[in-house]
Structure 1
């Protein structure tokens, strides 16, 4: 299990108001949200212009080698719209 996919599934589970680790159909509830988490991540796999612009701006500020900072800027562009 990829940690990011699991974190996304757990977040969706909490968002829906369910405890993450209660048992549902023989497994932890959060695992039932893996398809939704995968769909969201696939939907943002291809960056849009806002994400690219955020990456370029951040790279100019902090340097192109700060991949974490650039990634966060790109995801922030998605969240903030």
Structure 2
């Protein structure tokens, strides 16, 4: 099973800062200290740009789903909401 999105983002942020993600810091793996930043990233992404919404709508349309930009925004927000809950 894949890791929750929040954990994957936190680990990536940890690595980007040059830290080994699993080294212990204050008794916990270092990456866990990046969870607040990962959550902030996902919260910001809950509101996709127009370009993102259009791309999502086009992708859905290409998959034979009839979704406009508003529908794509709704789907995207639901996906981010799920990622926030999954990694809580």
Alignment TM-score > 0.5, same fold: yes
TM-score by length of 1: 0.72
Match of 1:77 in 2: none
Verify: 1:42 aligned to 2:43, yes or no: yes
Stretches of structure 2 that go unaligned for 5 or more consecutive residues are 67-74, 77-88
CA distance in 2, matches of 1:12, 1:64: 34
**Structure 2 residue 7 is the aligned partner of structure 1 residue 6:** yes
Q: Deviations over 1:22-74 (max 9, x none)?
A: 00111000000001000010001112211110011112222229xxxx86xxx
| Relative contact order higher in (CA < 8 Å, ≥ 6 apart) | 2
CA distance in 2, matches of 1:64, 1:16: 40
RMSD: 2.1
Aligned length: 66
Runs of 4+ in 1 over 6 A off after TM superposition: none
Q: Give the whole-Å Cα distance in 2 for the aligned partners of 1:64 and 1:36.
A: 34
